Chain A
Amino acid sequence: MTTADLLGKILQVVMGLAVFAAIVGLLVFFIDRAPKKGRDYWQLVGFLAPAIILLAIGLIWPAIRTTGLAFLDNSGNFSWDNFIWMFTQPAAIRTLINTVIWVLFVPTLATALGLAYAVFIDKSRGERYYKALVFMPMAISFVGAGIIWRFVYEYRAGEREQIGLLNAIVTGLGGEPVQWLQTDPLNTFLLIVVMIWIQTGFAMVVLSAAIKGIPTEQIEAAQLDGTNAWQRFMNVTVPGIRGSLVVVLTTISIATLKVFDIVRTMTAGNFNTSVVANEMYTQAFRASEVGRGSALAVILFLLVLPIVIYNVNILRKQREIR
């Protein structure tokens, strides 16, 4: 890059920002000068329009187009082939099954572990440090986590030195090294462990905050009633944080449905570990089968939709209570 190019680019950025500021300024100016009659209406339109236009360009139109593409074959004719392929090909069916397994295990286990951890460290000494310890994996990207865990599962044949932690332990105990990532169906669960490792921190932080929000009086009253710790947990704590629990569960579910990076970096979908999002990318971009990719995207969308609706409903109800 030459200096002239660089200056040109800087100038472009400055110009862009200036134009943006000018447009926003003008908009605000005109909204302010809107006729008295129906001013509220004009203001509403003025402030909502940019967001709605961007949403339409960036979300609604692509969603419509993807749905359309899902019903086209490679030469652009209408066909059901993409969906037929998805529900008849053993490999594609396996992808759907794997996604179901992911959604069953990751949210429940991550939330359960996060909750247990939050309860155990609650009001303990050094709580902050314990929290940081579990929360830290959240700071690592999924790709980074995938690479780290691939080393954990790394395999070297019997006589060679093990560089994978897990196999080093196994051989240290006198066992034979295992091809962890190739052993189906164990490998899917080993990938799930990575996701749980990342998401437990999130669950723990949110639930810990919710636990602290439970009035002490309730717990003391339960204590006076002669309940043991487990009864207090089940009858006071859990009902008290129900809203947060649902939010955590649904948020992790959505994250799990679209999991892609972990699978792609660790096995690239080989050995029967592929999931819908990974397959979607592979079909659309590597295999140049845009229709198949779009069909998978549509399925993913349909799977996420009920969870999102449920999540929004719960949030709304919570707000009403408050």
Chain B
Amino acid sequence: MSKDPIKVGAVIYDPRVTVIWGIISDFFKEEGLEIECVYYKDYEGQVDGLMSREIDIAWNSPLAWLDTYLRTDGKCLMGSMRDTDRDRKTVFVVRKDSGIAELDGLRGKTIGFGAVDSPQARLIPINHLHRHGLEYGADYTEQRFDIGVGLHGDHVGGELDAMKALTAGTVDAAVALDLNWEAWKKDGTVDENQLVCIDTTPLFDHCIFTAHPDFSSERFAEWQNVLHRMDYGNEAHRKMMDMEGLKEWVEGRISGFSQLREANGYLKFLNT
């Protein structure tokens, strides 16, 4: 088996995030498996890097996973995800005084979405509306908040701006990832007396490690074994895990991406 460092790709929009990858690198080195981190500006570049074998493994957004999946005819290798990547949902929020109590009440209204390529704040909720008989481009007006396009909604700015627009009354509804909605209610960013969630999407999954189809499955298994030895009880690991928002690495699965695949088919978003 090759002993070359495993090249792992990550999309970085904040230099502080490199600290996370530094901790992961150090841990892998201690465990006798060296990795080399390669940083990308956006997910499209990262998937390009995976396809050209510039990297072996990519820390992918759900949309980047789908892009890889489609580009490799489904042959890419599925890796681990964070515990917090599983079973997420998107919330649909309106003002309490709007009189809107269900999704159908959004017919003819303006809905605030996140960035154009955000799975949780645009693609999946648009598909959810479609499932409930509200067609994109016909039954409501999309007001998009394109912050950090290329980051697939990693940057919270688009969702937050949509929520602020809802509070200000310039849109009739806004969508956000459940974790963000809960955090904003807790820290006072949004006022629960003014805003109310009227619906949620079914559960879906978020980020996942994805390897190139030609990457050795033994090495990928070795990588995952080491990754799963990261321990929240270890102070150094806990720092990284808190920054990345997880308590443990768990087995990956692609069943949680079905809504996104459906959304991609509906919106024909990825050019494949």
The answer to whether A and B come from one shared complex is no
